[in-house]
Amino acid sequence: MTAILPPIRINGIITRTPINHPSIIMEQITERHPIPSSASRFAASILTALVFVVALNLRAPLTSVGPLLPWIGASEHLNATM
């Protein structure tokens, strides 16, 4: 036999569903974090790919700066604390 639950007010709605019921939990999650559309997922994947390609192209210039750091520090009057 199922116990009758007292009415509960959730987001202004009176219900007899327990707060930890999966349908209530999913409703609360989707209210806070709406499911993105396929167009926004596509745009996000294009942006991620673009950032990855730019990072690959900048790898060589960034690694060539390392040997020049003492010379750059001397010309800019930098010391170890700056």
Per-residue pLDDT of the chain (82 residues; tens, 9 = 90+): 455 666 666 666 666 655 566 666 666 566 666 666 788 889 999 999 999 999 888 888 888 888 888 888 888 888 877 5
pLDDT at 9: 67
Q: Rounded to an integer, what distance in angstroms lies between the CA atom of residue 44 and that of residue 58?
A: 21
pLDDT at 1: 47
Q: CB–CB of 32/41 below 8 Å?
A: no
* The residue type at 61: P
Residue 17: phi and psi, rounded to 5, are: -80, 135
Q: Longest Cα pair distance anywhere in the chain, in angstroms?
A: 84
Interacting residues of 4 by C-beta distance below 8 A, sequence separation 6+:
16
DSSP, res 67: G
